[in-house]
Every structure is written in structure tokens, then in C-alpha cells.
């Protein structure tokens, strides 16, 4: 990759740096941060959120690079119908996730319980439904059923990558439109621009994910009621954002 950048003329460097800045801003589009937020609208986990943000950005950047190679190298542009389909999918995804989390909040209210076994203090997460079921089946009412949010599930089924690909397809036109002007007929410049644009997207989304998780953690550990209201507000906002995106698209 460094060899690729070494072939770029010095006069093109300002344009390439512009790509980083545009990538930083592009990552913070409302539908982007809404998707990353709503997918992590549960128990705060820095690792899970950063993994999702990173793989989302890789999926987003990957499809842009593929689109750039097709456009600049072969003269093939991403069909408008495919971009339209991707944008509709993003809108429906936000609406569906928002509805799901509102239903989940009504069905499951997360609580924290601490208890002691001798000198050992245990902290458990459980829901009202879990508490009722487990108390009926356990003599001492001990809650062993935990709410799990494994990172492996996100990576194994490629959710963040696929969501990133959808966003990349839906919003590829503005990024790819600059390639002919930036590239000036040189493939190295065009690819360098897309790589730096994608790098900006990755940095920006990781920074957002980190800030989002720490904000969640603060309220989760200190103000459970506010944390639950935040989850509900985020789910409702996802529905509104998805609805507005759908209306704008169709």
C-alpha cells in the first residue's frame, strides 16, 4: 500500500487529504450513526461496539473501493436501482430494529442484583421475566441466567459488514462522483483517495462508537432508569430516522 502512495504526485496530496476529511464527516451521517447505535442498544460493551463500528466501516469502505475500481478501471458504475434498493433496505432495517427494541424494552426490563456467598460477592444481570421463571424453578431464588451479548455472534454472521455494505451502496454516489476529478486519469490517485476516504470513515466511526459506549456505561452503572429511557428514545429515533429515509427515497 505504501508503494501505491509513493506513486502519487505531490500536487495530488491536498486532494487526498480532503478525502480523509470527507470520510470523517461521511461516517457521521445520521443513518450511519443510527445503525451503529441501535445495533448496540443493549448492555454497554466497548469491545462489541468497537468491533461492530470497525467491521461496519470495513464493509462500507470495501464496497466503495470495489465501486471505484469498477468505475475508474472498467467504466462500470453501480446501478441506480441497486443503490435505491440498498437505501430502502437501510430504512427498513432502522425501522425494524427500532420496533424490535421497543418491544424488547416492554418485555424485558434489565435489573442488577448483588448477593453474597460467604466472602464472595456476585453481581448478576436479569430481566423481570427471567426473575419470575427462575424463582419458580430455584428453591433459593438464585438467578443464574445472564443476558449475553457475545462478540462472536456479530462476527460470525457478518452483521456489521453487511450493514456497512448496504450503507456503502446506498451512499456511494457522492464519494464516487469525485473520483474522475481527483484521479486525473491515474488509477493510483483514485485508489489512494478511496483508501484515505475509507480510513477517515473508520477513524470517525471508531471514535463515535467509543464515545457512545462510554456514555452508555456511565448511565448504565449509575442511573439505570435513565439508561432504559435512553434505550427507548434511541429505538424511537431509529424508527423516525428510518421512516424519513424511506419517504425521501421512495
User: For residue 21, which of 193, 213, 236 has the smallest C-alpha distance?
Assistant: 193
- Percent of the chain past pLDDT 90, that is, above it, reads 20
pLDDT at residue 182 in the model: 59
pLDDT at residue 189 in the model: 78
Residues 6+ apart with CB under 8 A from 60: 32, 164, 165, 167, 168, 198, 201
Top pLDDT among 224 and 178 is at: 224
Q: What is the pLDDT of residues 120-164, one digit of tens each?
A: 655 555 555 444 444 444 434 444 444 454 555 544 457 888 999
Q: What is the pLDDT of residues 172-223, one digit of tens each?
A: 776 776 665 555 667 777 788 888 899 999 999 999 999 999 988 888 888 8
Give the Cα separation of 167 and 90 in Å (integer).
7
> pTM, whole model, 2 decimals?
0.73
State yes or no: pLDDT of 96 exceeds 80: yes
Tell me how far the alpha carbon of residue 130 is from its chain's centroid: 29
pLDDT band (50, 70, 90) for residue 71: confident
Amino acid at each position: 500500500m505504501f508503494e501505491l502512495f509513493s506513486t502519487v504526485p505531490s500536487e495530488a496530496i491536498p486532494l487526498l487529504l480532503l478525502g480523509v476529511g470527507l470520510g470523517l464527516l461521511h461516517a457521521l451521517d445520521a443513518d450511519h450513526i443510527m445503525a451503529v447505535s441501535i445495533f448496540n442498544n443493549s448492555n454497554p460493551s466497548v469491545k462489541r461496539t468497537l468491533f461492530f463500528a470497525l467491521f461496519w466501516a470495513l464493509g462500507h469502505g470495501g464496497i466503495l473501493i470495489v465501486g471505484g475500481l469498477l468505475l475508474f478501471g472498467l467504466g462500470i458504475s453501480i446501478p441506480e436501482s441497486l443503490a435505491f434498493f440498498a437505501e430502502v433496505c437501510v430504512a427498513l432495517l432502522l425501522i425494524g430494529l427500532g420496533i424490535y427494541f421497543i418491544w424488547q424494552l416492554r418485555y424485558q426490563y434489565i435489573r442488577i442484583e448483588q448477593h453474597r456467598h460467604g466472602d464472595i460477592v456476585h453481581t448478576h444481570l436479569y430481566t423481570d421475566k427471567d426473575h419470575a421463571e427462575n424463582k419458580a424453578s430455584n428453591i433459593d431464588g438464585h438467578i443464574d441466567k445472564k443476558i449475553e451479548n457475545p462478540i462472536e455472534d456479530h462476527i460470525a454472521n457478518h452483521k456489521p459488514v453487511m450493514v456497512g455494505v448496504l450503507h456503502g451502496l446506498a451512499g456511494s454516489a457522492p464519494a464516487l462522483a469525485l473520483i474522475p476529478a481527483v484521479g486525473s486519469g491515474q488509477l493510483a490517485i483514485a485508489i489512494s483517495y478511496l483508501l484515505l476516504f475509507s480510513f477517515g470513515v473508520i477513524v470517525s466511526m471508531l471514535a463515535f462508537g467509543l464515545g457512545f459506549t462510554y456514555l452508555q456505561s456511565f448511565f448504565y452503572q449509575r442511573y439505570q432508569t435513565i439508561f432504559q429511557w435512553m434505550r427507548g428514545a434511541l429505538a424511537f429515533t431509529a424508527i423516525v430516522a428510518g421512516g424519513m429515509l424511506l419517504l425521501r427515497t421512495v
